[in-house]
Amino acid sequence: MNPGRRTRRTVEQVRSALDEIAPPQLAQGWDNVGLLAGDPKAACTGVVLCIDLTETVLAETQRRNVNLIAAYHPPIFKPISHLVAHRDEQESVVFGAIARGIAVYAMHTALDAAEGGANDVLAGLCGMVEAKPFAPAALERDRRKVVVFVPAEHVDAVAHAAFRAGGGLIGEYRCCSFRSQGEGTFLGGEGAHPTVGRVGRLERVGEVRLEFVVAADRVTVAVEAVRARHPYEEPAIDVYPLEPLARPVGMGRAGRLTQPTSLKDLAKRLAQATGAETVQIVGRPNRKVGSVAVCVGAAGRLPLESEAARCCDVVVTGEIRHHDALAIQRAGMAAIALGHWASERPALASVSRRLRGRLPALPVHISRADRCPFRQP
């Protein structure tokens, strides 16, 4: 193998890695995340990360000679009735990407809710500890456990087939399985063609019980992969439902600061950390704050509807509507609005780092053409 030669990656492999970082099942029901356009089987030459897919981001992607854009905001929200070039609608940019052979992926609220995602990044910039979602979700709600009994000399081959089919993913880890030794028995009938032993004789064979978890929508694919690689004519395969387990994922984060500070100083610190050009506050600038609820983008009334968030001194978000600001005041809380784009942009560095960790040879770029649409006069 030539160490200087890059491993060929497909769009599907990159989609799978991005799905691990921002699991689509965590997205809000109204959202549109995942691979929105592109050929999953196509070779992927690299990724550009951005908040908004614009014409300038598309041009930059072409200049970099990469063919997948992972955008935070989905460029397609509603069903498309027309996909035409050179129009004012956002869909025309998607047409331009398709015409140039560039795939489009969206993360949005899946990345907001995910562990290590956009809200965790913003919580870290605040200096928050003991951060927990104030609108929790359950990552394991759609998973199953598959158990198969395999002769010891074939267990690695069967396990790798299951892993390639999407089995064995737990959080940040892949190829997860449990294996225990035992003895299997069987007696083949007249029409059987046993791999081991003879028809009509009770056989005893040393076997390994192989267990792995898999997403519910990948069970059929994983089981078929196991069957295809298993040496037995009729392998014993069991599929068990899993009860949901609470995970540190969900919308928003609430926690305490390592050191209480003033509302004004926290706002200044966040402005510097995010590069926000215009920061607004709700509340007295010198008010002391020791606990924070963060929600990237536009929090709306979500912090006011959560008991965990309502107990915090300040809400940190991107933008706040006038009437929501009044409601925050009435609730006795303060707020910091960093700007919608500025609150979300820091998450791209985390996505870049984690994507490189999963696919080390893949070029990953954070867009330089991606810009907040608002400017100071």
pLDDT at res. 2: 46
Whole-Å CA distances, 80 to 77, 84, 97, 146: 9, 10, 15, 39
- The answer regarding whether domain 9-110+346-366 maps to CATH 3.40.1390.30 reads yes
Stated as kind and residue range, the H or E segment containing 234 is none
| Domain 115-137+249-337 superfamily per CATH | NIF3 (NGG1p interacting factor 3)-like (3.40.1390.30)
Phi, psi values for residue 305, rounded to 5°:
-95, -5
Q: How many CB atoms lie within 10 A of CB 252?
A: 27
Asked if 360 and 134 touch (Cβ cutoff 8 Å), the reply is no
**Spans of all domains in the chain:** 9-110+346-366, 115-137+249-337, 139-241
Two domains, one topology: 115-137+249-337 and 139-241: no
Which residue intervals of 187-330 are DSSP H helices? 219-229, 263-274, 307-310, 322-330
List, in sequence order, every residue forming a beta bridge with 132; answer none if it has no partner: 254
Q: At what angle do helices 55-63 and 91-99 cross, to 10 degrees?
A: 20
Residue 363 CB contacts under 8 Å (≥ 6 apart), including other chains:
45, 46, 47, 64, 66
pLDDT at res. 1: 37
CATH assignment of 139-241? Answer: 3.30.70.120
Q: In what order do the strands lie in the sheet with 103-106?
A: 34-37, 103-106, 68-71, 47-50, 364-366
Reported residue count of the chain is 377
Whole-Å CA distances, 223 to 40, 111, 163, 206, 337: 22, 29, 11, 22, 49
The closest alpha carbon to 306, from 248, 251, 247, 244, belongs to 251
Burial 50-73 (b: 16+ CB within 10 A, else e): bbbbbebbbebbbebebbbbbbbb
Q: Is 43 exposed, middle or buried (0-12, 13-18, 19+ CB in 10 A)?
A: exposed
The closest alpha carbon to 13, from 361, 377, 305, belongs to 361
Asked if 96 and 38 touch (Cβ cutoff 8 Å), the reply is no
pTM: predicted TM-score of the whole model, two decimal places = 0.72
Q: How many CB atoms lie within 10 A of CB 210?
A: 24
pLDDT at res. 242: 83
Average pLDDT across each block of 10 residues of the chain; the chain has 377 residues. List them in order.
61 95 90 95 97 97 97 90 76 92 97 95 96 74 87 95 92 87 80 69 86 91 95 92 70 95 97 95 97 95 91 96 95 96 98 96 96 89
